[in-house]
């Protein structure tokens, strides 16, 4: 159960602290289950605690006079290995591309995108192409609407260097 202290640094124009310090306890719980439906098909589902549906954090603040805490769908996906070198993943899934560390500047590891991804791996080469749906937009029959999505691709190589591996990858994505 992590404890969090937030000190207010802001001052009003007269030099008085503009907000009180905050102290809170938070919890986080996740439950993910995977099942091998066939030799080539893996399916998964997961739930997580959440506060106000935040897609970047499953943290839940302990407050609200002993209120019940929200649990939301976090994952619901299939992963079909259609060949020894390739797979198709779809639904609400973990990110399907290589990231250089647990925490990166561009992609939060807690974000589970929704869409389709086509991946391949052959020898030292790997890659993925994907289309993630962000928001479905609807409107009156006589209006033009555009759903937002991210489409991207990544190509990479894993080079053995002694007992280690050097991974190089190039990633392009476009918000549409």
Give residue-wise pLDDT tens across range 103-155. Answer: 567 777 788 999 999 999 999 999 999 999 988 777 766 666 677 889 999 99
- pLDDT band of residue 96 (cuts 50, 70, 90) is very high
Q: Which pLDDT belongs to residue 11?
A: 67
Give the angle subtended at the CA of 48 by the CAs of 46 and 54, to the nearest 5°: 120
> Is the predicted pLDDT of residue 6 greater than 60, yes or no?
yes
CA distances to 56, 63, 113 from 108, in Å: 7, 26, 11
Residue 40 has pLDDT above 90, yes or no: yes
Cα→Cα distances 15→6, 7, 9, 20, 38, Å? 19, 16, 11, 14, 66
Q: For residue 176, what pLDDT is reported? A: 81
Q: How far apart are CA 21 and CA 2, in angstroms?
A: 17
Rounded Cα gap, residues 61 and 24, in angstroms: 7
List CB contacts of 13: < 8 A, sequence separation 6 or more.
none
CA distance 49 to 70: 6
Whole-number percent of the chain with pLDDT over 90 = 51
pLDDT of 110: 82
In this prediction, residue 118 carries a pLDDT of 98
Mean per-residue pLDDT, 12-26: 73
What six digits make up the tokens of 6? 């937030």
CA 46 to chain centre: 13
- Look-up: residue for tokens 């489409």? 151
Burial classification of residue 59, based on how many CB atoms lie within 10 Å of its CB (0-12 exposed, 13-18 middle, 19 or more buried):
middle
What is the rounded distance in angstroms from the CA atom of residue 159 to the CA atom of residue 6? 44
Q: Of the ranges 29-38, 55-64, 135-144, which one carries the lowest mean pLDDT score?
A: 135-144
Q: For the residues 58-63, what does the mean pLDDT come to?
A: 78
Residue 1 has pLDDT above 60, yes or no: no
Q: What is the pTM of this model?
A: 0.78
For residues 103 and 161, which has the higher predicted lDDT (pLDDT)? 161
């Amino acid at each position: 159960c992590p404890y969090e202290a937030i000190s207010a640094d802001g001052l009003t124009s007269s030099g008085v602290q503009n907000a009180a310090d905050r102290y809170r306890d938070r919890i986080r719980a996740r439950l993910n289950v995977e099942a091998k439906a066939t030799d080539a098909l893996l399916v998964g589902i997961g739930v997580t605690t959440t506060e106000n549906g935040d897609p970047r954090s499953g943290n839940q603040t302990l407050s609200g006079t002993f209120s019940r805490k929200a649990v939301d769908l976090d994952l619901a996906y299939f992963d079909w290995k259609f060949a020894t070198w390739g797979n198709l993943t779809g639904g609400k899934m973990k990110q399907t591309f290589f990231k250089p560390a647990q925490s990166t500047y561009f992609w939060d590891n807690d974000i589970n995108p929704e869409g389709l991804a086509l991946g391949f791996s052959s020898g030292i080469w790997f890659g993925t192409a994907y289309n993630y749906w962000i928001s479905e937009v609807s409107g009156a029959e006589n209006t033009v609407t555009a759903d937002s999505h991210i489409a991207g691709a990544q190509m990479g190589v894993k080079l053995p260097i002694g007992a280690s591996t050097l991974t190089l990858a190039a990633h392009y994505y476009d918000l549409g």
